[in-house]
Amino acid sequence: MKIYTRKGDDGTTGLLYGGRVPKDSTGPEAYGTVDEAVSALGVARALADGDVADAILRVQRHLFVVGAELATQTKNRSKLEDGVSRVTPEMVEQLEAAIDALTDTVGAPKEFIVPGGSSLAAAIDQARSVVRRAERRAVTHEATGVEDGSVVPYLNRLNDYLYMLARSVEDEWSPSRRGDAE
């Protein structure tokens, strides 16, 4: 089997459960940006280990669900499966619980944070900024009349989660936590 099909040579792309749209339309822009976020998180996961690597992998898998929902035309939404190809309110709630747990551990920052406290935190922050762009693209996609349910709230919470995850990693590796002189 060949990886290329040549079907996209005309500037269109296939959607989940059928249909084709221009590659630069709102859906492909949104799920393409989600795909960028998955890749950016891959860089972060390559730098991480243990619980942080596991958390990033869970997020990457959830972003495949986001992408699947964004890649489905409205007329085919009934074919989506909760948690497999449709974002659920429970997925949003899981992120909220994780954000709360990180906030309890690290505390809420009291000032703007300049990314780059560590390689891992910087990679997470880079992924977070891509997630923010994906959220904007999903909002634009919804404005075209496509109902995405929990996609935008999920991406909004994910931005907050990644922000706090990066803070927790920076806190873990800060000189004061390691006992280094500042």
In tens, the pLDDT along 56-95 reads 999 999 999 999 999 998 889 889 999 999 999 999 999 9
**Joined tokens for residue 139:** 């909002």
Question: Is a pLDDT exceeding 50 seen at residue 167?
Answer: yes
In tens, the pLDDT along 121-144 reads 999 999 999 999 999 999 999 888
Q: What span, in angstroms and rounded, lies between the C-alpha atoms of 16 and 23?
A: 14
- This prediction has a pTM of 0.89
Q: At what angle do helices 119-143 and 151-173 cross, to 10 degrees?
A: 170
The whole-number average pLDDT for the span 100-122 is 90
Q: What percent of the chain has pLDDT over 90?
A: 77
The answer to whether residues 63 and 138 touch, using CB atoms and an 8 Å cutoff, is no
Domain ranges of the chain: 13-173
- In CATH, 13-173 is 3.30.530.20: no
Q: What is the sign, positive or negative, of the torsion defined by CA atoms of 101, 43, 170, 160? A: negative
Q: What span, in angstroms and rounded, lies between the C-alpha atoms of 141 and 148?
A: 9
* Predicted pLDDT at 148: 63
**Joined tokens for residue 148:** 């995405």
Amino acid occupying residue 116: G
